[in-house]
Amino acid sequence: MSSQPLPQRLAETRDDFRALGVPDRLQLLLEFSNELPALPAHYAEHPDLLERVVECQSPVFIFVEVRDGAAHLYATAPAESPTTRGFASILVQGIDGLTPDEVLSIPDDYPQTLGLGEAVSPLRVRGMTGMLARVKRQLRAQLPG
Amino acid sequence: MPAEFDSAPKLAEYAHPERLVTTDWLAANLGRPGLVVVESDEDVLLYETGHIPGSVKVDWHTELNDPVVRDYLDGERFAALLGSKGIARDSTVVIYGDKNNWWAAYALWVFTLFGHEDVRLLDGGRDLWIAEGRELTTDATRPTPVEYPIVERSDSDIRAFKEDVLAHLGDPLIDVRSPEEYSGERTTAPAYPEEGALRAGHIPTAASVPWARAAAGDGTFKSRAELDAIYRGEVGLEDGDDIIAYCRIGERSSHTWFVLTHLLGFENVRNYDGSWTEWGSAVRVPIATGTERGEAPRRG
């Protein structure tokens, strides 16, 4: 599971951010924030299935599920926390449909490669690093052996 | 020329009513020449989701801090920042934000380090403005840049450093963090990320008054009488006291600094912005744990 190329969608997201000037990176993050899908009904009715990401300043809950060999990430965060929603949305879109091995091979420092440090501050980017770590941990716990 | 002060009766009870405006006042004065409205939030994108028409954003993390040294920006960069936002030295600045004006108070404190004279908070902040159904816009504000003079920061009056706190032990200290941080059960606010302090607890003799106790349910400041009951009654602060407030990085204690200085009229209040992330990692500074204030160490 090492030295795999970065999954295509995540690579595109990274390139999109880096192609922009700093103020426009914020706008792109806002677009991601607005695109965070609502939870499917079975999770909306069972918030206990979702895990709180304590590395984030705002309340954000995530859950990763493997169906037919493909990972799907679900996340929810309040509208008053658009930065956190944006981070979650980048991962939800980038991870959806990947194999568990592909998800586990995403570099832990992927959030630091988006060029968001200047736009939102390195401290805030840590929240996204925490989300990614939790996604991987949940996945490992679900894999056999 | 400063905008007129808000004469709302609730504000008149405070020591310095000129430091607050109500949502009614702001709605009536939007667009007034010489008035600049500033939004300052914890979430760096919240302003972009909708802000008070004509307001500009100031982000505490990316704009008010020096990017390398743990310090605030210097006079030159402050002048460039404010000028770019259309703020002149004689502008009336009204700051509002999320979370009971937590970060708005922090921005106001930083503006005060540079001696910006007329800077006020919107009582109730962003949440009250929205709860009252007032107008928000996503239209970008394009301020006309103005000249802001280069004024060096003055840290001595309202900012305390670690050495100041060591020399201050025995005089009133207010710890505005959560009870769990005060007692030493944890080093960061509940539900907030770890930000690295090696030890947990509080500075000996500090009274525990979590910052949000100064806020009412709707995000406005509590009344003068309620605030007096907390800070004078419960804590025992008296006129003439030399007071230092601290939290984790100095943001929550800016809120308490605002309450003590502008609402209750204490004249010697400093904010120790190094706060627990410095004190809790410093070598051989005294620390108390548990819910008691603890004793000041004897001075040698």
pLDDT along chain A (145 residues), means of 10: 79 97 94 93 74 68 92 91 94 96 96 93 88 92 81
B140 at interface of A, judged by CB pairs closer than 8 A: no
**Between B234 and A55, the higher pLDDT residue:** B234
Q: Encode pLDDT of B40-49 as tens digits.
A: 999 999 999 9
Partners of residue B48 in chain A, C-beta under 8 Å: 26-27, 30, 82
Nearest to B230 by CA among B203, B208, B250, B248: B208
Distance of residue A51 Cα from the nearest chain B Cα, in angstroms: 13
Nearest CA in chain B to A118: B62
Lowest mean pLDDT among A17-31, B97-111, B177-191: B177-191
For residue A83, give Cα distances in angstroms to A32, A55, A56. 9, 13, 10
Partner residue facing B191 (CB), from A30, A59, A118: A59
Tokens of B27: 């709605």
Going by their DSSP bridges, the two strands B242-246 and B268-272 should be labelled as parallel
Whether residue B147 contacts residue B88, with contact meaning beta carbons closer than 8 Å, is answered with: yes
User: Who has greater pLDDT, B237 or A142?
Assistant: B237
Residue B188: band (very low, low, confident or very high) from pLDDT cuts 50, 70, 90: low
Q: Which of B11, B247, B249, B260 is catalytic?
A: B247
Q: What is the mean pLDDT of residues B122-140?
A: 97
Say yes or no for a CB contact (<8 Å) between A127 and B45: no
Q: Which residue has the higher pLDDT, B276 or A41?
A: B276
pLDDT of B8 over the 90 cut: yes
pTM for the predicted model, two decimal places: 0.91
Lowest model confidence (mean pLDDT) among B91-95, B192-196, B272-276, B294-298: B192-196
Question: Which ipTM score applies to this complex?
Answer: 0.83
User: Taking CB atoms and an 8 Å cutoff, what residues of chain A touch B40?
Assistant: none
Amino acid at residue number B64: L
Whether chain B has a CB inside 8 Å of the CB on A111: the answer is: no
Handedness of CA B107, B251, B212, B171 (dihedral sign): negative
Q: Do A82 and B42 touch (CB under 8 A)?
A: no
Phi-psi region of B174 (alpha: psi -120 to 50; beta: other; left: phi over 0): beta
Residues of chain A positioned with their CB less than 8 A from the CB of B192: 54, 57
- Active-site residue, B247 included: yes
Summarize the confidence of residues B158-167 as an average pLDDT: 97
- Give the model's pLDDT for residue A1: 46
**Per-residue confidence (pLDDT) for residue B232, from 0 to 100:** 98
Residue B125 has pLDDT above 50, yes or no: yes
Distance CA A58, CA A86 (A): 12
pLDDT > 60? residue B193: no
Cβ–Cβ of B46/A126 closer than 8 Å? no
The whole-number pLDDT of residue B119 equals 98
Residue B77's pLDDT is what? Answer: 97
Query: Would you say B182 and B291 are in contact if contact means Cβ atoms under 8 Å apart?
Result: yes
User: Residues near A28 by Cβ (< 8 Å), separated by ≥ 6?
Assistant: A16, A17, A20
Mean pLDDT of chain B: 94
Domains and CATH numbers, chain A: 8-142 (3.90.1010.10)
